[in-house]
Structure 1
Amino acid sequence: MKIVVFGPTGMVGQGALREALLDPAVDSVVTVARSAMPVTSPKQRHVVHADFGDLSPIAAEVADADACFFCMGVTSAGLTEAEYMPVTHDYAVEAARVVGGTFVYVSGEGADASSNTMWARVKGRTENELLALDRPAFVVRPGFIQPRHGITSRTRIYRYLYSWTGWLIPVLRRLAPKFVTSTDELGRAMVALAKGAQPTVRVLRSDEINRLAR
C-alpha cells in the first residue's frame, strides 16, 4: 500500500506519518512539503514542492497512491478569508485532483459551511466538496489533540496550550470523549481508512476516530 502525506511536519502530519510507517500493510509513504525533512525509514520518500496550487509537476510520483492524507493547515488568527482559503481549501482540492486512492481530509471540530465564523465556514465548504467526489473520501474532525511520542505543534500558542492543559486530558476524555483524541489514535484511524475501513459515518469526530483507531 502506498500513502501520500501532505503536511508531514505539522503535529497531525507527524502522527499520521509515524503510524503509516509503523503499519506493516503500508509499503511506501510519500511525504510532500515545501522544505526538506529527515527521512527515518526506507519506506519513506520525501518530495520537496513549492507550489501546492499546482501539483502537476509531481503527479507521476503520487497519482498511483492507495490513499492521501491531507494534513496541511494554518491558523486562521489574523488572516482574512482570502488569505486562509489557499491552504485550507485550494490546496486540498488540488491534492484530491492529482493524488489517487482514498482521500482523508483533516478538518476541525466545529467546521460548518453555513457558519458565520470564517475558519469553520471555509473548512466546512472544503469538506462538502471533497465528500462529493466520486471516490472514497473521509473527513476527520479532531477537537483537542494530545501530542504523543515526542510530537509537538509548530504553532507556539498551541505548544503552550498543550503544556498547560496536559494534566486535564484524562478528565476531558471522561467528560467530553467527542472532543479528545491523540496524534497516534488519529494516525491509526487514518491508516485504517486507507486500508479500507468502512465506518458508519464519513465525517469522524474524536470519539469515532478513537473507536476506529482501536
Structure 2
Amino acid sequence: MKLIVTGATGLVAQEVLRQGLRNPAIQKIVAVARKPVTIPALEGGVDASKLRSVVVPDYDNYPPGVKEEFSGADACIWTVAITPTKSKDYPFAEVQRICQTSTLVGINAMREAGLGSPFRFIYMSGIAAERDQSKTPPMLPEYSLMRAIEWITDIKILQGETENRVLAFASEHKVAEGFEACVVKPGLITHDAASVARAEDLQRTMGIPNITVEEVAAAMLHQVIHGFEKEPLVNEDLVRIGRKALEDGL
C-alpha cells in the first residue's frame, strides 16, 4: 500500500507515521507538510526507507511535482485542520480556508494525479462537527457548522459542509474509480499527563469522550488497510478498532 498522510508534522499524523512505517502492509508513505518531515522525529524502530517527505508551502496549491508523488496512492489520511480551541485565534475566513477549502483542493489534486482502486480517503474531523444545520452544537457552533452546512448565495459559498462534500466527492467517483471516503470523529485526543487530566475533567463535567493518540492512529491505519467498517467512525468505534489493532500488533 502507498499511503498519503497530510499535515504530517502534527501530533496525530506523527503517530500515524510511526505506526505506518512499522506496518508491513504499507510499502510507502508520502508525508505532506509545510516543512520537511525528518527521520529523527520518527524514532522507535521504524523503517525510514518507506518515508517520502513532500513539502507544500500552501495546502491550496499542488504543483505537478507534488501530484507525481501522489500518483498510484491507495489511501490518504487527511489531518490538516485548525482545532476548535485554536480556531478562536483566527478570523473565521481563515479557519474555513484551512479546514474546508484546503481539504477539497487536496482531494481533487490526488484524484487528478491518478490513484489506485480502491482509494480510501479518511477525513479527520471531530466530535463537535455537525452535519445537520437544524441542530445547534453546544460549543463553538460556527466552527462546528462549517464542517456540516453549505450556504450558497449569488456571490459565493459562504460556508462549506466539508464532511458532506468529501463524502459527495467520493460517491461521485466511487463506481468508475473506486474512490471511498470515511469521516472519523474522535473526542479529545490524549498524549501526555496534562492532556489525560484535562480529558478526565471534560469527561466528568461535560461527557466528552477521549481517545489516546496511539488508538486513533491505529484505528485509521487499520481502516485504510482493511476497508471502512462504517461511516462515520465516532470515538467509541475508534477506541475499539484502535485498541484491537494495537493488541494484534498491526
Question: With structure 1 as the length reference, what TM-score do the two structures score?
Answer: 0.83
Match of 1:181 in 2: 211
Match of 1:129 in 2: 165
Alignment check: 8 A CA contact 1:89 1:123 kept: yes
Shift of 1:196: 2.7
RMSD, aligned α-carbons: 2.5
**Inter-partner Cα distance in structure 1 for 2:107 and 2:238:** 21
Structure 2 gap ranges (5+): 43-47, 149-160, 172-178, 245-250
**Inter-partner Cα distance in structure 2 for 1:71 and 1:202:** 17
Match of 1:24 in 2: 24
1:120 aligns with 2:156: no
Distance change in 2, residues 1:171/1:5 (3 Å): same
Shift of 1:188: 1.1
Alignment check: 8 A CA contact 2:60 2:102 kept: yes
Q: Higher relative CO (CA 8 A, sep ≥ 6), structure 1 or 2?
A: 1
**Inter-partner Cα distance in structure 1 for 2:208 and 2:121:** 23
Of residues 83-92 and 35-44 in structure 1, the stretch that sits farther from structure 2 once superposed is 35-44
Alignment check: 8 A CA contact 1:13 1:72 kept: no
Question: With structure 2 as the length reference, what TM-score do the two structures score?
Answer: 0.72
1:212 aligns with 2:241: yes
**Inter-partner Cα distance in structure 2 for 1:131 and 1:8:** 22
Match of 1:95 in 2: 106
Match of 1:50 in 2: 57
Match of 2:154 in 1: none
1:138 aligns with 2:182: yes
Alignment check: 8 A CA contact 1:189 1:209 kept: yes
Q: Percent identity?
A: 27
Alignment check: 8 A CA contact 1:141 1:205 kept: yes
Match of 1:166 in 2: 196
Q: Which runs of 4+ in 1 moved over 4 A?
A: 167-178
Structure 1 gap ranges (5+): 148-161
Letter of the aligned partner of 1:72 in structure 2?
A: V
Shift of 1:208: 0.3
Shift of 1:16: 1.5
Query: Residue by residue, what CA displacement relative to the aligned partner does 1:20-68 show, whole Å, maximum 9, x if unpaired?
Result: 1121100000101111221251110101111211224311111311101
Query: Residue by residue, what CA displacement relative to the aligned partner does 1:45-95 show, whole Å, maximum 9, x if unpaired?
Result: 101111211224311111311101111122311323211111101111122
Of residues 106-115 and 27-36 in structure 1, the stretch that sits farther from structure 2 once superposed is 106-115
Alignment check: 8 A CA contact 1:142 1:206 kept: yes
Aligned length: 199
Shift of 1:3: 0.4
